[in-house]
Amino acid sequence: MRQMNISFIGAGRVGDILSRALYSKGYKINIIVSTTETNGRKLAETVNAEWSASYEFSSIDDLIIVAVSDRSLQKVLSEINCSPDTMVVHTAGSFGLEVFENSSISRKGVFYPLQTFSKDRKIGFDGLPFLLEASGEEGYSLMEEIVKKLGSVSYRIDTESRKLYHLAAVFACNFTNYMLTSGKRITDLYHLPFDLLKPLVEETVNKAFEMGPENSQTGPGIRNDINTLNKHRELLSFDPELEKLYNMVTGSIFGYYNNDK
């Protein structure tokens, strides 16, 4: 089978990790397009590609992966000029194929890894879900093949359902991280090591995915254990904002388990 040629638009967190992963799996990376020259050149060098600031593609790419911010996605897509044979996909969870509407691209798709990316952080692609959508079967197969090569798993998910995953991910990832941050503010303030909480958090997550999180809720909020809640409020009086968050989430837990469920 002929080697596949892939170019990237965007050298941010997603472009960085994805291009390196594909390069390491033997794909030829043609061009890294980035408006920030330093980032773009650095990444291009790493994956043995050319850097460019232009959306004009004279190279023959099988695939262009557009990994730019949600804010600039539509504009970037409308400026791409590439061969009609090139498939162009974006990596945004909250957009579908409709975002291509002002573009001249004919083969289009969504290539959304359901993961949180941070710069300079390696992530495992093994078993990672990619939520895919394409304007044609051939394009879908092309993405499927790449996902398989990464060791990841393809799911054919339509625009509406992918948006729902994106939203569910905000609760499960962004909000979860913020709860950890809030816990750490407490241990930090008293110079206690936050790391002691790691086994607890890991068990919380394992339990949630094995039993269903709705079946594994514990703590004073669900029982409305007033004594403990009041003790906690007192300890939190050093920070009214944190106390407010505590009260809001506790109230929401109690409401869900006792009235609204």
Interface residue with its own copies among 5, 35, 83, 187 (CB under 8 A) is 187
Name the minimum Å distance from CB 12 to its own copies: 12
In the region spanning residues 118 to 137, those forming contacts with its own copies, defined by CB under 8 A, are: 118, 121, 123-124, 127-129, 131
In the region spanning residues 134 to 163, those forming contacts with its own copies, defined by CB under 8 A, are: 155, 157, 161, 163
Q: Measured on CA atoms in the order 40, 42, 47, 50, is the torsion positive or negative?
A: positive
- For the chain, the C-alpha Rg in angstroms (whole number) is 22
Interface residue with its own copies among 72, 75, 164, 258 (CB under 8 A) is 164
Q: Which is nearer to its own copies, 59 or 176 (CB)?
A: 176
| Count of residues in contact with its own copies, rule CB under 8 A | 89
**HSE-up of 253 (CA within 13 Å, CB side)?**
20
By CB under 8 A, is residue 207 in contact with its own copies? yes
Phi, psi of 116 (to 5 degrees): -105, 130
Binding mask 1-40 for its own copies (x = CB under 8 A): ----------------------------------------
Interface residue with its own copies among 217, 224, 237, 258 (CB under 8 A) is 217
